[in-house]
Amino acid sequence: MKIFVTLPDGQRREVPGQPGQSLMQFMSAGGIPVSAACGGALACATCHVQISDPWFSKVGSPGDEESDLLDMSDYRGDTSRLSCQVPVSADLDGLEVTLQLDAVD
C-alpha cells in the first residue's frame, strides 16, 4: 500500500509500506522527516499532520487527549491529527496527508 505526504515546503512524496503500524511509523519508515519527539507516546504534537478532506471521515476525529495536544500547535486545522494516533489499515491505501511545520525533524 502507499500514502502520499506533502511536506511543508510543498514537495509531495509517495510512501510505500505495510498496514499494521501508526501513520507516524509508516512515514518514518518511508523516509519522511517527521520529528515524533515522544516516539508515539501521545506526549507532544511533533507528528502533526493535516488529513486531506476526502480522507478525514475514514481516519476519524482526534480523541480528547490528542485534541488537547493539537491545541498547542500554531498550525492546527479542522482535519489535524497526530500521526502516532492514526492506525494504518489497508482501507487507507492512497491516504493523503500534509506534514505540518511543527512536525518536521
Q: So what's the pLDDT on residue 105?
A: 78
Q: So what's the pLDDT on residue 87?
A: 97
CATH 3.10.20.30 fits 2-103, yes or no: yes
Q: Encode pLDDT of 49-101 as tens digits.
A: 999 999 999 999 999 999 999 999 999 999 999 999 999 999 999 999 999 99
Per-residue DSSP letters for 12-74? EEEEE--SSSBHHHHHHHTT--B--TTSSSSS--TTEEEEPHHHHHHH----HHHHHHHTT-T
Q: Left if phi > 0, otherwise alpha if psi is -120 to 50, otherwise beta: which for 36?
A: left
Residue 81 is classified by DSSP as E
pTM: 0.95
pLDDT mean over 40-48: 95
Strand bridging mode 2-6 / 96-99: parallel
In a 13 Å sphere around the CA of 50, the CA atoms on its Cβ side amount to 15
